Structure 1
Amino acid sequence: MAWYFPVLCISFVLISVALASDPSPLQDFCVSIPNSPVIVNGFACKDPKLVQANDFFFSGLHLAGNISNAVGSRATPVSVAQIPGLNTLGISLARLDYASWGLNPPHTHPRATEILTVLEGTLLVGFVTSNPENRLLTKVLQKGDVFVFPAGLIHFQHNVGYKNAVAIAALSSQNPGVITIGNAVFGSKPAIGSDILAKAFQVDGNIINQIQSRF
């Protein structure tokens, strides 16, 4: 029976890996029900007999986003909130507009890998690897270029041209989520204590107070 324990351990590891992946849909589609009182990991499904073509449709990506803001960029998402038919399909996208020298600030998508395609303009893009290396990988992209941001890693895009830029991002989740680092750290409600942030960033507390006041 000496062979039994190693085989049991290997079987357990294989089963654990299988259970850790996202399950495949168990039906053709599961169109979400807006404002459903049923709470599940995702959204409750509409009766398939009531599903219409518009449940799988969105119009608006031809329209430029309003980039007259402090960072000079705007994302127009197309997730399950815009297309109910995306529910359980594990995919979404967004149009990204950038003013000249506009920035999509450092952020993460906790539930998705992102693949970015530049439609117009020139973008400096990059992401930072996890601890302890924290390597910054950057690339300047031109029209038609593609770049991938691995799930959960902090990344950004910066328009380094003198004209507006446009990109399309595809994401491996119906609801990828977004955590903008500056907003989360300096604009949380209630605020993170300035003494905590001062120690974390190794700066004077007055500097933290000034930054927090901007968020």
Structure 2
Amino acid sequence: MILDFDDLYTTATVPWDLGEPQPAVVALDRAGRLSGAVLDVGCGLGDNAIYLARKGFRVTAIDAARPAVEQARRRAAEVDIDFRVADATDLTGFAGRFDTVLDSALYHCLAEADRGRYVTALHRATKPGARLNMLCFSDQKIGPVPSPLPVPERNIRDTLTAGGWAITDFAPGELLARTEPSREFVEQYPEAETDDKGRIAMPIWIVQANRVT
């Protein structure tokens, strides 16, 4: 599945626009997984970046979709965040800058041929000892609900290891999506539960890894 994210952010309300950070990102912060200079890669509309900046982190947030970055800048008008339009599989100009990476739902959007380039680019952009936190759609289910872009565990493990990352934790988790913008998908699973804000939980892998020098 190839998505035109410029078009999505221009013409539609995206399912992952919660207007607040993903709970899984908040949990990573509370677990002490983020520190120092943070790269929010594939930042979308910026809610995770805004949350982290307000918690005191130095945040650089990038996305390849210019409409997303423009909206994120407006949303974060009073928050100090360095928003950039950038290719996550390249990251030229960011060498050795970051202590922490947050990938909240980017990896699974990349073509298989780009995933190795991506994790290698993250390695170049980070400092020795840096931490990677990845939220990626899994090939599991939450009740009846699968993910729309499933990625098997072995794919992530092999790609990260080859790209210079040592996995320290790999666990199932949840990513929330608004049901109204994703109605065509949600209607396939009428028995699926939603929360009090009309959001559905989709299955992800929560992956933690350390940069190998």
Q: TM-score, normalised by structure 1?
A: 0.27
Query: Which structure ranks higher in relative contact order (CA pairs < 8 Å, sequence separation ≥ 6)?
Result: 2
Q: Larger Rg: 1 or 2?
A: 1
Q: Which structure is higher in helix share?
A: 2
Q: Which structure is higher in strand share?
A: 2
Q: TM-score, normalised by structure 2?
A: 0.27
